[in-house]
């Protein structure tokens, strides 16, 4: 009963303002069991997404015997693994498809006012990254942990086209001014 109440409390309090302007969201809570000589040892595995809503997002997996401890560990791991996402206004600069294990995620830029068209796992990562207009499609495996990792991988692959062109021209020697 205590486990169920802790799980419901965590899911109801999905968005939490933390110190430093970071927001956290729990994506997946799993109850896991390890069989040992004396019986079964139960624990929890929690996938947490942390972001500042301005282009920085991270994902962490916390494991502990109680849900709050697992959440704390997941948040700690997520803040350490934060990456910066390339944005173009309120959307992403270009379309990208990324893959992690058997999960594939398609991320497409959308016009202003479209909103976030995404499933639960992708939505958590995209919203906490600060993206307001995007079209997404989750393909392949629906395992939310792998979907979150595929989404983060896709966001990490995004590049600003104008900046990349300027870098290439600067490296070839035709344009030395990168501004």
Q: CB burial class (10 A; 0-12, 13-18, 19+) of residue 57?
A: buried
| CA triple 99-103-104, angle to 5 deg | 50
pLDDT tens digits for range 1-57: 555 445 544 543 344 444 568 999 999 999 999 999 999 999 999 999 999 999 999
pTM listed for this prediction: 0.82
For 72, the 3-state DSSP assignment is: helix
Task: Report which DSSP code applies to 41.
Answer: E
Residue with tokens 């802790």: 6
């Amino acid at each position: 009963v205590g486990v169920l109440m802790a799980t419901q409390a965590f899911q109801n309090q999905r968005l939490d303002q933390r110190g430093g302007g970071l927001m956290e969201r729990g994506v997946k809570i799993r109850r896991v069991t390890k069989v040992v000589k004396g019986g079964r040892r139960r624990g929890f595995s929690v996938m947490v997404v942390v972001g500042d809503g301005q282009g920085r997002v991270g994902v962490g997996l916390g494991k502990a015997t109680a849900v709050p401890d697992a959440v704390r560990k997941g948040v700690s791991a997520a803040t350490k693994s934060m990456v910066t996402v390339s944005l173009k206004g309120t959307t992403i600069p270009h379309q990208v498809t990324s893959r992690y294990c058997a999960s594939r995620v398609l991320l497409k830029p959308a016009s202003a006012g479209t909103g976030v068209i995404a499933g639960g796992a992708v939505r958590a990562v995209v919203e906490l990254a600060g993206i307001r207009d995007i079209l997404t499609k989750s393909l392949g495996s629906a395992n939310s942990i792998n979907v979150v990792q595929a989404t983060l991988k896709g966001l990490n692959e995004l590049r600003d086209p104008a900046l990349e062109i300027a870098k290439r021209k600067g490296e070839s020697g035709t344009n030395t001014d990168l501004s």
